[in-house]
Structure 1
Amino acid sequence: MNANNEWNKLEKSYAKEGVEMKVRHTKLDNKTINYLSVKGENNPSTTIVFIHGAPGRADNFGNYLKNKTLLEKANVISVERLGYGSEKGKEEDAIGLHGKAVRTVLNDWQEELGEPQHYILVGHSYGGPIAAYTSVQDSSGIDEVVLLAPAMSSELELMKWYSRWAQSKVIYAILPSGLKVATDEKANHAESLKKIEGEWSKVKVPTTIVHGTTDGLVPFENLQYVVDNWSIDVDTVVLEKKGHLFPFKDEEIVVNLLLQKIDS
């Protein structure tokens, strides 16, 4: 299935559930960035922006894009990160480039709406440092950064046995595009984080980090890393006995937090 057919099929699947979702496309130099978008009711001035992890797709946050309570108060968009959603996906390990891609999406969305927006950036896992670094590069319009089980510390990066296994030439050759990108990101992520770790003190946007104590993929200690490396106070939410996938297994936790942010 080519990309256009895939996007059309996805839009139709949302329409069947009564949600008018539009896949939008914008450009950063020669790179195409795709993102899913749903406009909220009564032209809200807040837009929630989801940034997925690895592996991941923009549609991972589909239930949030369909959430009527959120849409009563905000527009909701979800970014397909560079390298994903292509038959010939290529991993982009520079977190700064991913940040520029997110900013390109924000500019495109604001042009679509025709009025300034208040953005809440929500990054899960590998999407966490991208959300935070986007605000370092250019904080304009960004009211909040919400980090969900984010992989922030280079020293805490875990190279699991299956990641090493996936890097073997025989296995790598048969992996689908998205998993190739994900396993390449995993191999390079610690070094990518190390290159920017001295800049986290530049984050000036209010930040909340939510992490589960039993996360077996991204160590819980990343929460303390963020607290120690931000120059501003960070709000923390500790989820006892929750793992890495709580945004998809316990969506009400994230929805309630976002509603609080919008109303504050």
Structure 2
Amino acid sequence: MKLLKKTLQFIGITLFVIFLILYYLFWSFSAPKSDSKVLEKFVDSSVLPILIHKNFKGFEYRKLSIVKDTTLPTLVFVHGTIGSSTDFIEYMKDSILLSKANMISYDRVGYNYQDKNTVQESIAFERDMLSSILQDINTDKIILVGYSYGGPIALAIQQKVRKVILLAPAVYSKVEPMPWSLNLYKWKLTRWLVPSVWQEASREKLSHKQDLRLFENSWKSTPNRIVSIHGTSDWIVPFENSTFLEHQFPKNQFELIRIPDAGHGFIWSKFDDIKQLLIHQLD
């Protein structure tokens, strides 16, 4: 009996230590990185981005810019939920893309390093913030690239730009999934287990469906040409989001590019494919 008790205690302690290690790795991997850590990711790049802190309506945010030639188009990346400006680092380091475009990426409010502000839970706010970022760029040169929740933000822009590219856009409330894991945030007893940046993502996720209803029936009012790239096996943001858009636009304004069997993380897992598609849109 004593041996059994000691064995169970050992197993319990071991499992608890494993849980702590996994939790720490999960927290450290997903937490927003400091400015120095972000710039370290570019040490093997031919071009070092300019990292600055800007202000929009009293909210400070971080922006990465690589602007070499103002005659080139500018790719402006908008990250999703959860996400950050660093989601697109491999694209911003790619020599071929660097030869063909300037690039900008930024942290949305609530996702900055040690951000004291919460997410704004508003596509309208995000649209206006993005518009402020675009104001000093020639609109004929702007190509917006919105990933996941960044998709509706890019799509909500009403000013005429060169093109809008959507990567697995979350634009249709009726197919918006609500994962069980959100309960960890909703339940007060377990909320403390959720890292702060994931609490922000959970808050934004829970309000996204209702917020989408304010926009989803008027996506077609955009003056821009739209290209939507979507994995057919995406269960986080279902492929039906893009087919919903396809039915709203005339064929000469909208193009749907299917990535067979790809999931939601295809901007990383299918990097070469997505890069080639971006290059094609630049040419």
Same fold, judged at TM 0.5 (above): yes
How far the C-alpha of 1:105 sits from its partner, in A, is: 1.3
Please show how residues 222-241 of structure 1 align to structure 2 within 5 Å.
222-230=241-249, 233-241=253-261
What residue identity is the alignment partner of 1:240? Answer: P
3-state SS of 2:64 partner: strand
Bigger mean CA offset, 194-203 vs 64-73:
194-203
Q: Distance in 2 between matches of 1:39 and 1:201?
A: 31
Counterpart CA distance in 2 for 1:19 and 1:171 is: 44
Deviation, structure 1 residue 16: 4.8
Runs of 5+ consecutive residues of structure 1 not aligned to the other structure: none
- Cα gap change, 1:44 to 1:207, in 2 (>3 Å): same
Q: Alpha carbons of 1:195 and 1:43: their partners in 2 closer, same or farther (altered >3 Å)?
A: closer
Q: What is the TM-score normalised by the length of structure 2?
A: 0.82
**CA separation of 1:228 and 1:116: change in aligned 2, threshold 3 A:** closer
Structure 2: state its 5+ residue gaps: 1-32
Structure 2 partner of 1:251: 271
Provide the rounded CA distance (Å) in 2 between the counterparts of 1:82 and 1:99: 12
1:53 aligned residue: 80
CA RMSD of aligned residues (A): 2.3
The structure with the largest alpha-carbon Rg is: 2
Task: Identify which of 128, 133, 136 aligns with 2:151.
Answer: 128
Match of 2:108 in 1: 81
User: Could you give the per-residue CA deviations for residues 35-94 of structure 1, whole angstroms, max 9, x where no partner exists?
Assistant: 111224x54431001111111111011101101100101101112112111343402111
Q: Distance in 1 between matches of 2:232 and 2:40?
A: 38
Counterpart amino acid of residue 119 in structure 1:
I
Which one of the candidate residues 27, 33, 37 is aligned to 1:9? 37
Instruction: Give the TM-score normalised by structure 1.
Output: 0.88
CA distance in 2, matches of 1:87, 1:27: 13
Contact conserved, 1:123 with 1:147, CA < 8 A, in 2? Answer: yes
Cα distance change on mapping 1:206 and 1:164 into 2, 3 Å: same
- Inter-partner Cα distance in structure 2 for 1:215 and 1:12: 31
CA distance in 1, matches of 2:224, 2:269: 28
